[in-house]
């Protein structure tokens, strides 16, 4: 525990691809008829797509003068791949290009080139299932704020494993608290842009961690439900799946869209409706969606049990279909 927060390994688990080269004999020892490789002899190798080519992890470096570092100026996408196939790649890259357009970042790579680079990174990872982080930075400039002094953006793509929540939370559902931090109005900070400025969400996440909750519910300036720190939120009431409209301060999540498509396919009524804390607490079921989180049940809010306190029937149906969909 450090400064009231869990160490990174306790709350955020990530694993890197491990590649083992042919090892010299002195790295091996015999046990009976078997050759044993000591764990210390494993060499981690990660290929990262960086500004047009795949490089080793140690070579993928951005400048301290990049405005992404100095000011959080840039945008990103988080993308999943399953069985080597990237889930809804084009939807993600459309959203990325929309973010760049809003931020006036002139991308030197075409839509098709970014899609190809993302697939190339996945192929180089050697993994079948994993998570992609695609980041576009404003680029190198001076210490001033003016983005026009950053003539060339940078882009890097990482393929890794990620687990936002412990396994038991996926099995039993996670607890929510209501954050004191509000989603800003769109004239302050547009939530449809996946910018590198995540301080609002990080502040709310700190509250959740300090209170022992799995996630924080974020309200907008009117006190209505927007979303969670990095997930869209859904409830089920009287057999109807409901999620807040994007105008309430939620990101247009790709997994959110997938769940809405699943509801149509399964014949489950689904609608967008303004919600408040009362609606969450009095719901029959509640679940969160996100690329990293996928689909996970939420079973309490501020110490109040939601529904039965476990993942509901409709949540389970949606999750089962989602797990099939991502591998089709």
In a shared domain, residues 73 and 213: no
Cβ(105)–Cβ(136) below 8 Å = yes
pLDDT mean over 172-200: 95
Q: What is the CATH number of the domain that holds 97?
A: 3.30.470.10
- The domain boundary, picked from 146, 163, 180, lies at 163
In a shared domain, residues 313 and 174: yes
In a shared domain, residues 151 and 208: no
In a shared domain, residues 76 and 134: yes
- Which residues lie across from 54 on neighbouring strands? 49
In a shared domain, residues 114 and 221: no
pLDDT mean over 132-157: 97
* Active-site residue (options: 194, 205, 273, 316): 194
- The domain boundary, picked from 163, 197, 213, lies at 163
In a shared domain, residues 178 and 289: yes
CA distance 20 to 118: 24
Is position 194 annotated as part of the catalytic site?
yes
In a shared domain, residues 61 and 141: yes
Residue with tokens 């992609």: 132
- Return all residues near 127 (Cβ < 8 A) that are at least 6 apart: 17, 81, 159, 161
Q: What is the CATH number of the domain that holds 274?
A: 3.20.10.10
- Kindly state whether residue 177 falls inside one of the protein's structural domains: yes
In a shared domain, residues 210 and 291: yes
- Kindly state whether residue 276 falls inside one of the protein's structural domains: yes
In a shared domain, residues 115 and 262: no
In a shared domain, residues 172 and 158: no
- If one compares 169 and 18, the residue with the highest pLDDT of the two is 169
> Environment class of residue 32 by beta-carbon count within 10 Å: exposed (0-12), middle (13-18) or buried (19+)?
exposed
Quick one: what percent of the chain has pLDDT higher than 90?
Answer: 82
In a shared domain, residues 237 and 156: no
- The domain boundary, picked from 163, 186, 207, lies at 163
- Kindly state whether residue 2 falls inside one of the protein's structural domains: no
Domain residues for 72?
A: 47-163
pLDDT for res 95: 98
- If one compares 13 and 296, the residue with the highest pLDDT of the two is 296
Task: Give the confidence band of 122 by pLDDT, cuts at 50, 70, 90.
Answer: very high
In a shared domain, residues 95 and 199: no
For the cut 80, the answer to whether the pLDDT of residue 15 exceeds it is no
- Kindly state whether residue 31 falls inside one of the protein's structural domains: yes
pLDDT digit string (tens) for 266-298? 999 999 999 999 999 999 999 999 999 999 999
Task: Give the confidence band of 44 by pLDDT, cuts at 50, 70, 90.
Answer: low
pLDDT mean over 147-168: 92
Q: What is the CA radius of gyration of the chain?
A: 21
pLDDT digit string (tens) for 202-227? 999 999 999 999 999 999 999 999 99
Based on the structure, what is the number of domains in the chain? 3
């Amino acid at each position: 525990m450090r400064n009231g927060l869990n160490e990174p390994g306790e709350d955020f688990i990530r694993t890197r691809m491990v590649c083992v080269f042919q090892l010299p004999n002195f790295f091996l020892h015999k046990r009976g008829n078997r050759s044993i490789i000591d764990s210390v002899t494993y060499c981690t190798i990660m290929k990262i797509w960086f500004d047009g080519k795949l490089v080793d992890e140690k070579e993928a470096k951005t400048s301290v003068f990049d405005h992404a570092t100095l000011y959080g100026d840039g945008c990103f996408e988080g993308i999943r791949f399953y069985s080597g196939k990237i889930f809804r790649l084009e939807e993600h890259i459309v959203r990325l290009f929309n973010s760049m357009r809003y931020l006036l970042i002139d991308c030197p790579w075409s839509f098709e080139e970014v899609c190809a680079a993302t697939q190339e990174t996945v192929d180089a990872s050697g993994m079948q299932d994993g998570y992609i982080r695609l980041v576009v930075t404003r680029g190198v400039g001076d210490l001033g704020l003016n983005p026009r002094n950053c003539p060339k953006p940078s882009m890097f793509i990482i393929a890794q494993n990620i687990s936002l929540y412990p396994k038991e939370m996926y099995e039993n559902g996670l607890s929510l608290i209501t954050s004191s931090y509000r989603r800003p109005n769109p004239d302050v900070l547009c939530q449809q842009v996946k910018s590198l400025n995540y301080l609002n969400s990080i502040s709310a996440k700190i509250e959740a961690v300090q209170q022992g909750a799995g996630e924080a519910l974020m309200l907008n300036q009117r006190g209505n439900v927007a979303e969670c720190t990095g997930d869209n939120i859904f409830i089920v009431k009287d057999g109807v799946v409901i999620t807040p409209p994007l105008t309430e301060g939620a990101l247009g999540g790709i997994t959110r869209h997938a769940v809405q498509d699943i509801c149509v396919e399964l014949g489950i009524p689904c609608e967008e409706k303004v919600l408040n804390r009362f609606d969450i607490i009095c719901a029959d079921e509640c679940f969160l969606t996100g690329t990293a989180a996928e689909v996970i049940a939420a079973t309490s809010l501020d110490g109040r049990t939601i529904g039965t306190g476990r993942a509901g029937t409709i949540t389970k149906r949606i999750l089962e279909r989602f797990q099939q969909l991502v591998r089709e």
